Amino acid sequence: MTSAPLVGSLDTASFDANAIAIIRGFAMDAPFYAKSGHQGTAMTLAPLAHVLYSRVMNHNPADPAWHNRDRFILSNGHASILQYANLFLNGYGLELGDIKLFRQLGSLTPGHPEVGHTAGVEVTTGPLGQGFANAVGMAIAESHLRSQLGSDLIEHHTYVVVGDGCLMEGISHEAASLAGHLKLDHLVAVFDDNKITIDGALDLTCSDDVAARFRSYHWNVIECGDISQDCDSLEKVLRQARAHVGQPTLIILPTKIGFPSPDFTDKHAAHGNPFTEEHIARTKEVIGMPNEPFWAPVEVVAQQRQHAIQRVNENYSNWQNIAKKKTVDLANYSSENIVQNMSSVLPIFGTSESPATRVAIQKVLEEASKVLPQLLSGAADLTGNTGAKLTGENAFSASSPAGRQVYYGIREHAMGSIANGMALHGMVLPVVGTFFVFADYMRPSLRLAALSKAKVVFIFSHDSVGVGEDGPTHQPVEQLASLRIIPGLQVIRPCDGNETAAAWMQALAFDGPTALILSRQNLPVVSDGSAVKTGAAMIRSVEEPDLVLMGTGSEVSVCLEAADILASRGISANVVSAPCFSLFDSQPAEFKAQVLPHNIPILGVEAGVSFGWEKYVDDVVSIESFGTSAPGAQALEYFGISASNVAERAIQLHS
């Protein structure tokens, strides 16, 4: 810890000491007044964050969305006050009043960093390990774009701070393994090695050799020793990591949580229990700063912000000049014309065709790859099976970063979060696929994609017991309902090739993530795809219907067959395809009443649990148990997903 005078002459040593003191003061004061928060990590990492923001990272507070900025991710997002303090000091728009409102309703300083809410926050972090995987995704996006657009336009680094919790979570193993395999050398992770968890000392639960683990993943590992409070040494090791070629780098930084508190340094109580006034006063005395809340002298803050502007001016101006010469290149990777560009090549499926919707999406993606350079598609070892294959495209790899086919391996948990990082990096459109039942492995990343409005297209194929012989472990029944309840996740289950193409267009237009739920089995082409735009629509209507059959996905064709059976028995039925409940819910009441009239019975049909259908229908043909091992057609018949059973249930409802 520096002994330079606080405020003082504002020379270099005082510049560092003042900034670190302000960060540590905020780290104690903000949780104290909020009666909530985590000060210990922020206190000890104050020098690291200050050095990153003031000496190492290329960033521009006046243009937080600058394409070529270095990215900073706080994976251990509970230490959010550390990031807010640095955003305040560097002039990202946070002011003292925002720091004082830490964790309060409507503030710009919520409990964990939220992208899109606070300028300078790149991803939403909090669930441990997610930010680390996001950083891998950002590094993939940077590597790909650098190869496509040139290093004069795109060349930056991603810095991610992780703690013991991040590295214990399983997602970190998956993400680190892939990052090492891909040799993402513009990725620098700093491990806050404080050996503390909420329950107590780390040795209660973990004895991993982190250095050996990451070396086995083919990372460059720097064990830097006890330098966590030495700004010059921190800068040196960060620049060493930045310069390393051919591997991502992990810096193992030993720290003492809560430093320099005379009461709580190196104690797990420093993690999440706000200090008392006495504890804060004693710590501020050690630091040598006034014992006043939210100490941040105007002249010190002004100096910090002026420094941030001066650091970036030359690099930023040079980049702007290059960008002007490559306006067209940048425009090609913009999202502005993405829907228009895709419209001209969108495939149309004829009634003589009967592709599985997983096959239809592959045809759509192959056309998309011709007009959307930002498209990167991949899957968790199921590339061809899910339709995420871009035929003719090279694999993204260490030796071929221009490749657009990303192979994630059997790493669904990390794949989802890596895709979120890619999307939030910007200028790339990630598509990721796996079997629908394995969406359970991706639940955290799906939720965070929705919370972050990350534009990711999740392909989930093999969407029902129609999967067949693999049996109940691979047959999704509850997954569709479980995804529909995630706010902000657009869930679309198309009934045929044309609805699949329309679903892709809807995903491109949507401000956030989309899950496409696709069939393994072939499905007849029965629609023009227009139901997707409104979420639900009639695809067969009669003048005086006796009832409505409402289905999704593969069950729409079952409803159509059932309607024919009913007609032969003198019962008239409208058939509704409902590929997206959330879109239908957003339609005007008048339209919804036309599609689902209130004066006649409505029968829903879906090869999954009935949860969520109660607001639309009077009864539902569903599956309320796990599946069974049998050929797909037999499994569907066994569970009553057949035209004959739907017709019988409709007759019962009508009578």
| Alpha-carbon span 383 to 377, nearest angstrom | 9
Residue-averaged pLDDT of the chain:
96
pLDDT at 272: 86
* Level-2 CATH architecture, domain 338-517: 3-Layer(aba) Sandwich (3.40)
Where along the chain do its domains lie?
12-316, 338-517, 532-654
573-577 and 537-540 as β-strands: parallel, antiparallel, unpaired? antiparallel
pLDDT per residue as tens digits for the range 185-207: 999 999 999 999 999 999 999 99
Q: Check whether 58 has a pLDDT greater than 80.
A: yes
Of the pLDDT bands very low, low, confident and very high (cuts 50, 70, 90), residue 457 is: very high
Give 2's pLDDT tier (boundaries 50, 70, 90). very low
Q: Output the pLDDT for position 7.
A: 66
Encode pLDDT of 507-549 as tens digits.
Answer: 999 999 999 999 999 999 999 999 999 999 999 999 999 999 9
Which CATH class, in words, describes the domain spanning 12-316? alpha beta
Q: Would you say 60 and 53 are in contact if contact means Cβ atoms under 8 Å apart? A: no
Catalytic residue among 412, 499, 555, 561: 412
Q: Answer whether 12-316 and 338-517 agree in fold.
A: yes
What average pLDDT does range 451-471 have in this prediction? 97
DSSP one-letter string for 227-273: -TT-HHHHHHHHHHHHH--SS-EEEEEE--TTTT-TTTTT-GGGTTS
CB 416 within 8 A of CB 388: no
Residue the block writes with tokens 């070529």: 68
CATH code for the structural domain at 532-654: 3.40.50.920
Q: Starting from the edge strand earliest in sequence, which strands make up the sheet with 220-223, in order?
A: 71-74, 158-162, 187-193, 249-254, 220-223
What are the backbone angles phi and psi of residue 169, rounded to the nearest 5°?
-60, 140
Given this model, what pLDDT does residue 578 score? 98
* Region for residue 438 given its phi and psi (left: phi exceeds 0; alpha: psi -120 to 50; beta: otherwise): alpha
Give catalytic status of residue 412 as yes or no. Answer: yes
Interatomic CA distance for residues 398 and 307, integer angstroms: 36
pLDDT of residue 556: 98
Dihedrals phi, psi of 72, to nearest 5 degrees:
-120, 125
pLDDT 10s digits, 387-406: 999 999 999 999 999 999 99
Find out whether 477 and 536 touch, Cβ atoms under 8 Å.
Answer: no
